[in-house]
Structure 1
């Protein structure tokens, strides 16, 4: 029996895993690639009810060293309130008609107000994560008026537990609630995904990205550093700078860890 593979068990020793990590780092593989390889190895060992060598102290410390030597840098900038106001004003010049103006104004403000992932408001390959109109509650009698949204389908929420977010006007010049109500005069109040085109189909992710890029270009901003996720980063940064606790931010953004700290530092 060797220190690597054990006969009939497919078990690999932590020493061999550590050497493999060192090899990948020497080849200048990305941290994501290293993590993917380790996840695959861990899965096989767990499937066979074997000890997971990737959880060993040696491997964990080696991976941590790789991160320190090659820290990943998120080039996406947060959409601040100032930038949000700028692209909302640009939208009035970029959009082709009143419907497009209302639609994307509502989408931009909703994304910022609810820490939304783009996949929750615009369709990709699947529409399963899109927020639904039937999960909205409007409180117009309150001052200021508020909107209550229940999220069920989002990353890490395997049990589909309800997660509530409430928002009102918001910090932007334009009211998030007013923008949503204006858009709904076009959409109507039937069940289904909230953000729809005039043909009643969900707004494609490519369409959302294209409009955001056009607004940024009109405003003279670099579209290579502002992406759809920048609304989410911007919301986390805005509330972090106002003293919101990590636990509150994690809840609002529906994060399962404190990874948001990388982009929401005060």
Structure 2
């Protein structure tokens, strides 16, 4: 009852979704910022991975609670003799709402446009980062990227944009819920397209 009461008193979510066109604009704008080469490829990889893997910001940044942050051990690249990997497997052992459920695995395939491919960009970033264990996204000194630093580079929601884009492309509600690792119908509030029917 208390959980339901808290939800009923929640404020409206006014975050704007990052759709693909906005994602591409964000990536193109990175060249205009005063970032080092390392930080630029890191932020680009964070943007692309957050969108394509339906990530929560707390899964790639530190904000006091680090138990759900993706680690290098959560990643596995697959190559077929090419310069870059053909796909990426991400294993989620813990995540918000996990509640002793089995780990979830998400596979991302490489895309035709290498410049906008999350698999290729993450691979390029890790070549700069090095293979040392620990959180995936961190500064050269080894400090995990903070929530505040990441949010200073964007103001919209990648998960809202990813869910909305998937729905727009005809992906089923069941698949969207699974990809985003939502354990309830809360995923419906993340889809911001007029044609999506919420029940």
Q: Pick the TM interval, shorter chain.
A: 0.7 to 0.9
Contact 1:246 1:258 in 2 (8 A): no
Following TM superposition, by how much is the alpha carbon of 1:193 offset from its aligned partner in structure 2, in angstroms? 0.9
Q: 2:90 aligns with which of 125, 149, 156?
A: 149
- Match runs of 1:175-214 below 5 Å: 175-212=117-154
- Match runs of 1:74-223 below 5 Å: 74-141=13-80, 145-159=86-100, 161-169=102-110, 174-212=116-154, 223=155
1:35 is aligned to 5
Structure 2 unaligned runs (5+)?
none
Following TM superposition, by how much is the alpha carbon of 1:260 offset from its aligned partner in structure 2, in angstroms? 1.7
For the pair shown, the structure with the greater C-alpha radius of gyration is: 1
Q: What is the TM-score of this pair, normalised by structure 1?
A: 0.65
RMSD across aligned positions (CA): 2.6
Work out the CA distance in 2 between the residues paired with 1:253 and 1:245: 12
Q: What is the TM-score of this pair, normalised by structure 2?
A: 0.86
SS at match of 2:116: coil
Work out the CA distance in 2 between the residues paired with 1:79 and 1:253: 15
Count matched residues: 190
Work out the CA distance in 1 between the residues paired with 2:4 and 2:185: 21
1:25 is aligned to none
Q: Say which structure is richer in helix.
A: 1
Higher relative contact order (CA 8 A, sep 6+): 2
